[in-house]
Chain A
Amino acid sequence: MATSTVSKPPRTGKAGSTVFLKTLMAVTGFIFVLFVAAHMYGNIFKLFAGHEAFNEYSEHLRTIGEPMLPRRGLLTILEVVLGISVVLHVYSAAQLWKRAKAARPQRYVVKKSIAQSFSSKWMRWGGLFLLLFVIWHLLQFTIPKINVGDGGNAVSIKNDPYLLVVNSFQVWWLTLIYVLAMIALGMHLHHGIWSASQTLGFTPTARARKIAKTTATVVALVVAVGFVIPPLAILFGGIK
């Protein structure tokens, strides 16, 4: 034991303490969980309900809250919240990733992992893949509406959400990208929901820990499977 008196510990750096960064990541992560669950619900129930029902749902999302809110009011609020969340989530992940690399500059020649789950090993690279996927997804369906399967009818398809979705997923490689992304999302949620629960202090007992882990597995499976059903149904002719 060193006996010299240590000076007051320095205030944590500009980025904030590791626990603060983790809390930021956990809170924004839970916002994403709510978002993907709602998004998945809309896709699966409205796409199978047919052409008209889906377009009506899409229009409804823009008029929700009227006349209290302007057109696209709620949607804009959600976009801003999600946008800020993405920035904070990626920022804290990048800071912690950088810290972790600096914390072990020399790697082991042999290192076994005995406890960590397969999903948890892919949090960083899988998260980066999901970020790229989200950018591609927005390019495809939100702003420029890049339509990969338009067959020359780009303009009329762009204004018809149902046709845009159905035409896109009839292209096999696009569906493949989405299936891969949903596997990544499932894995990210599987470790992320449990980890966020622990970070936010919800898991003080063995029972609470078990509940958090089970919830994480169930939500991850439901969301990922729920998301891949419509694209696969479109590709294999279940939705036309």
Chain B
Amino acid sequence: MNLTLKIWRQAGPEAPGEMVTYPVSDISEDMSFLEMLDVLNEQLNAKGEEPVAFDSDCREGICGMCSLMINGEAHGPEVTTTCQLHMRSFTDGDTITIEPWRAEAFPLVRDLIVDRSAFDRVIQAGGYVSVNTGAAPEANNLQVRKEKADRAFDTATCIGCGACVAACPNASGMLFLGAKITHLGELPQGQAERDARVVKMLSQHDAEDFGGCQNLGECAAACPKEIPLDVINQLNRDFMKAKR
């Protein structure tokens, strides 16, 4: 397939950025989106131009490192991560616009790379459980109801990629935050710090300059791990309970 790519190029955080158009040809529809970008970068290297910088790591959809706003959708048109998006989702002759995540909380590093450390700081503020060290406890000691275990597992699939923030018109991190709150809040190990956790994590979320939630649902629709919107309901509930 032959494609026209419009890519955001920016040499550094303070440098001016602009959309640059690149034609690419002979792309196989079995390539992943990132492999297609690899092809482009090989061409740029051969011409002695600066390759396009983008994030990637595992390339199997589980690490949350890849990002990219593709034609106005976070991770592109399929419900998956950019690395698991294949070129068969596009048609020959398409023009594809590729932009970095846009949020004050995710400062741009270079081209398509943004710094998502804000999520790490939100986790560090309270997204953990404290346990005593020593011998491993008896595994069957703590019993967890099936529905609670399922919900904890489902929300634990959040890989912190930031698609929710990127897709949200308010650049809010509530879906991420809600997923973490629900994940730990459903388990017995998470109860001791439950009230303090939600207050600390929300304070950090707000301090990182994420926006507020309008319950629009763009985040849940963009999430490659299909985290449902009800985690935000859980977050609000837990926060009100903690403040009571």
Contact = CB atoms under 8 A, between A and B. Distances in A.
Interface of A: 1-2, 5-6, 8-13, 17-23, 96, 99-100, 102-117, 120, 123, 191, 194-195, 198-206, 209
Contacts of A12: 202-203, 206-207
Given A108-B72, A109-B99, A199 B203 contact: no
Majority secondary structure, A binding face: loop
Interface centre among A109, A110, A120, A199, by most chain B C-beta atoms within 10 angstroms, is A110
B169 interface: yes
B45 interface: no
Nearest to B95: A110
B218 A18 contact: no
B209 interface: yes
A96 B212 contact: yes
Given A10-B203, A198-B232, 18 more contacts: A2-B121, A6-B124, A9-B204, A19-B235, A21-B212, A22-B213, A108-B72, A109-B19, A109-B97, A112-B71, A114-B221, A115-B217, A116-B216, A116-B218, A120-B216, A195-B215, A198-B229, A198-B236
B85 to A, nearest CB: 15
Nearest to B117: A2
A1 B218 CA distance: 27
Contact of A9 (B171, B200, B236, B237): B200
A29 to B, nearest CB: 12
A224 B27 CA distance: 54
B40 interface: no
B34 interface: no
Contacts of A9: 125, 200, 203-204, 207
B104 interface: yes
Contacts of B200: 8-9
A35 B106 CA distance: 42
Nearest to B221: A115
A195 B207 contact: no
Most B C-beta atoms less than 10 A away, residue of A9, A20, A120: A9
Interface string B99-134: 100111100000000000100110111000000000
A203 B233 CA distance: 6
A99 B211 CA distance: 5
A38 B104 CA distance: 43
The 10 A-B pairs of least Cβ separation, nearest first, read: A201-B237, A103-B211, A18-B212, A115-B221, A112-B72, A103-B171, A100-B170, A116-B216, A115-B217, A110-B72
Interface of B: 6, 8, 19, 69, 71-73, 97, 99, 102-105, 117, 120-121, 123-125, 167, 169-172, 200, 202-207, 209-218, 220-222, 229-230, 232-237, 239-240, 243
B99 A116 contact: no
Contacts of A117: 216
A103 B202 contact: no
Contact of B239 (A11, A19, A108): A19
Given A9-B207, A11-B203, A19 B236 contact: yes
A54 to B, nearest CB: 39
Of residues B200, B214, B230, which shows the largest number of chain A Cβ atoms within 10 Å of its Cβ?
Answer: B214
A23 B241 CA distance: 13
A203 B102 CA distance: 30
Contacts of A5: 124
B32 to A, nearest CB: 21
A199 B236 contact: yes
A21 B236 CA distance: 11
Contacts of B99: 108-110
Nearest to B124: A6
B95 to A, nearest CB: 10
Contacts of B230: 203-206, 209
Contacts of B203: 9-12, 17
Nearest to B217: A115
Given A18-B172, A204-B237, A115 B211 contact: no
Contacts of B217: 115-116
Contacts of A106: 102
B202 A116 contact: no
B170 A2 contact: no
Nearest to A195: B215
Contacts of A105: 104
A108 B167 CA distance: 10
